[in-house]
Amino acid sequence: MGNEDSVLLSRILTELTLSFHIIYATIGVGIPLMIMIAQWVGIKKQDEHYILLARRWTRGFVISVAVGVVTGTAIGLQLSLLWPHFMELAGNVIALPLFMETFAFFFEAIFLGIYIYTWDRFENQKKHLLLLIPVAIGASFSAVFITIVNAFMNAPQGFDIVGGQLVNVSPIVAMFNPAMPTKVAHVLVTAYMTSAFVLASIGASRLLKGSDHLYHKKALFLTLKLGFVFSVASALIGDFSGKYLAEYQPEKLAAAEWHFETEEGAPLILFGVLDNGKVKYAIKVPYALSILARDLPKAEVIGLDQFPKDEVPPLYIHYLFDAMVTIGMVLTGLSLIYLLGTWLRWQFIFSKWFRWLLILGGPLSVLAIETGWWLDEVGRQPWILRGIMRTKEAATSSGQVDLMLLLFAGLYLILGIGSVVVLLRMFRKNTVEQELADRASLKAGEQV
């Protein structure tokens, strides 16, 4: 097996691991915040339902944490195993946030263990809330730090190269690179948004399946309210990300938008297909790309003609961009309709078909996360460190990547099926009605 094969297979294996990991990782970042909010609402309203909501979410969350932790360990090691040259170089500049990420992760792990195993230890629910704060902070901060590493790969800075050697390294400058603010913010809010829609789908599916319990209605309303807020925030920060790309990484924006020629007053291309270099069936919105990129309808947007052929990312990322944005818009609209419908008492939001749409919201938001990451990562090709190291220079020389790809594909299949089976069993066996009755009888027993 030649080096070419190793590069391709290493890319596929990394993509497979990350695509699998981010499903659990995204939920792992967002759900602790939702749990904390539910616990807080429960304390404020003195409503047992919300406290129970926090606990039931936590039980499912533990399963996703387990898979997130083990696949995170996998990608952590694979970085060095599959991309030894990259880590050798980047380790000099970007080790700090990687190191800090493990601290955040450690912090979360400790307090999650404490929270789960002290569920009924303290009389005062506020103490349980206090335990949840470090869990949520740890989860979000590990996302912050690891996203900083990724931002660095898109916009490397904080060092000078003299004769092939890295000198004058400044870890802090490397961390606060230009890609970092938009990237970290977008990753965080979309993680919260995705978690909210995933939890909303669970509530909607219980209601659809015939349970008419108040608990599920409260859960659905709370999660969609949060989902709406975070999807609006995601769109806003997404817009900032577009402006960042126009300024610092124009080739990614141009490839994602099929913007071939540098021009003023550039139109935005929505959907469409690329056929022999010609865009067909697309919707063109005049001036929209200039507005997106620079806030002015007449502004100049750099096109792909400004870049050498071997530095242009694959053009299929346009489809990924469309998918991500469309899903974001649809989910914002869906949650808004639900909220308005609840306040204005529109009947159709209780109908079966609308609940089906809400159920679809969860998987769709996960799909948007995947397409967003693919867009971001493939849009950086052919670079692993933009402008500094090409992907093919970074890969391992090992001839066994093909076997490892099969090994890990098998692992993810087992973990994927296993986690779904376990989660379904967990909640089918122990319904809310059952659990509320159990808790009531436990309390009555204590008072006798």
Partner 1 sequence: MTLEILGITVLGMFLFGYIIVASIDFGAGFFNAFSTVTGKQHILTKVIQRYLSPVWEVTNVFLVFFFVGIVGFFPKTAFYYGSTLLVPASIAIVLLAIRGSYYAFSTYGGLKHKRYTILYGLTGLFIPASLSIVLTISEGGFVRMEEARPVLDYWSLFTSPLSWSIVVLSLTAVLYISAVFLTWYAHKAKDGEATNLLRKYALIWAGPAIITAAGIIVEMRTHNPEHYKGLISLWWLFALSVIFFAGSVYFIWKRQAYGLAFWLMVGQFTSAFLAYGMSHYPYLMYPYLTIYDSFTNESMAIALVIAFVAGLGLLLPSLYLLLKLFLFNKEYVQGKRDDHA
- Name residues contacting partner 1, limited to 260-279 (CB under 8 A): none
Q: Could you say whether residue 117 binds partner 1 (CB under 8 A)?
A: yes
- Residue 224 identity: L
Minimum gap (Å) between residue 331 Cβ and partner 1: 29
Minimum gap (Å) between residue 112 Cβ and partner 1: 7
| Alpha carbon distance 7, 396 (integer Å) | 7
Residue given tokens 């867009």 in the structure block: 375
- The binding track of 126-165 with respect to partner 1, each residue x by CB under 8 A or -, is --------x-------------------------------
Minimum gap (Å) between residue 243 Cβ and partner 1: 30
Q: Could you say whether residue 100 binds partner 1 (CB under 8 A)?
A: yes
Q: Which stretch binds partner 1 (CB under 8 A): 96-104, 248-256, 322-330, 333-341?
A: 96-104
| Alpha carbon distance 351, 341 (integer Å) | 12
Minimum gap (Å) between residue 301 Cβ and partner 1: 37
Minimum gap (Å) between residue 18 Cβ and partner 1: 14
Q: Could you say whether residue 106 binds partner 1 (CB under 8 A)?
A: yes
- The binding track of 319-348 with respect to partner 1, each residue x by CB under 8 A or -, is ------------------------------
Q: 389 and 94 in contact (C-beta within 8 Å)?
A: no
Q: What share of the chain is helix, strand, coil (3-state, %, to 5)?
A: 75, 5, 20
Interface residue with partner 1 among 70, 161, 214, 283 (CB under 8 A) is: 70
By C-beta, is 92 or 211 nearer to partner 1?
A: 92
Q: Which stretch binds partner 1 (CB under 8 A): 119-127, 184-192, 286-294, 330-338?
A: 119-127
Nearest residue to 412 via CA among 18, 6, 143: 18
Six token digits for residue 123 = 């009389």
Other Cβ atoms less than 10 A from the Cβ of 186: the count is: 21
By C-beta, is 65 or 245 nearer to partner 1?
A: 65
Minimum gap (Å) between residue 51 Cβ and partner 1: 11
Which residues, including other chains, have CB under 8 Å from residue 39's CB and lie 6 or more apart? Answer: 50, 51, 54, 125, 128, 129, 132
Six token digits for residue 235 = 């769109």
Q: 4 and 101 in contact (C-beta within 8 Å)?
A: no
Minimum gap (Å) between residue 187 Cβ and partner 1: 19
| Alpha carbon distance 355, 352 (integer Å) | 5
Q: Which stretch binds partner 1 (CB under 8 A): 166-174, 193-201, 217-225, 319-327?
A: 166-174
Six token digits for residue 192 = 């919260």
CA dihedral 314, 183, 367, 28 (to 10 degrees): 140
By C-beta, is 387 or 418 nearer to partner 1?
A: 418
By C-beta, is 81 or 336 nearer to partner 1?
A: 81
Residues 293-322 that bind partner 1 (CB under 8 A): none
By C-beta, is 105 or 244 nearer to partner 1?
A: 105
DSSP, res 167: E
Q: Could you say whether residue 426 binds partner 1 (CB under 8 A)?
A: yes
Interface residue with partner 1 among 71, 154, 177, 371 (CB under 8 A) is: 71
By C-beta, is 43 or 114 nearer to partner 1?
A: 114
Q: Could you say whether residue 80 binds partner 1 (CB under 8 A)?
A: yes
Nearest residue to 68 via CA among 30, 13, 39: 30
Other Cβ atoms less than 10 A from the Cβ of 10: the count is: 23
Minimum gap (Å) between residue 95 Cβ and partner 1: 3
Q: 200 and 227 in contact (C-beta within 8 Å)?
A: yes
| Alpha carbon distance 120, 133 (integer Å) | 18
Q: Could you say whether residue 417 binds partner 1 (CB under 8 A)?
A: no
Interface residue with partner 1 among 12, 114, 337, 339 (CB under 8 A) is: 114
By C-beta, is 73 or 351 nearer to partner 1?
A: 73
Six token digits for residue 317 = 């990322």
| Alpha carbon distance 230, 328 (integer Å) | 10
Q: Could you say whether residue 403 binds partner 1 (CB under 8 A)?
A: yes
Minimum gap (Å) between residue 92 Cβ and partner 1: 5
| Alpha carbon distance 300, 310 (integer Å) | 23
By C-beta, is 73 or 306 nearer to partner 1?
A: 73
Strands (E), 148-218: 160-162, 165-167
Residues 226-265 that bind partner 1 (CB under 8 A): none
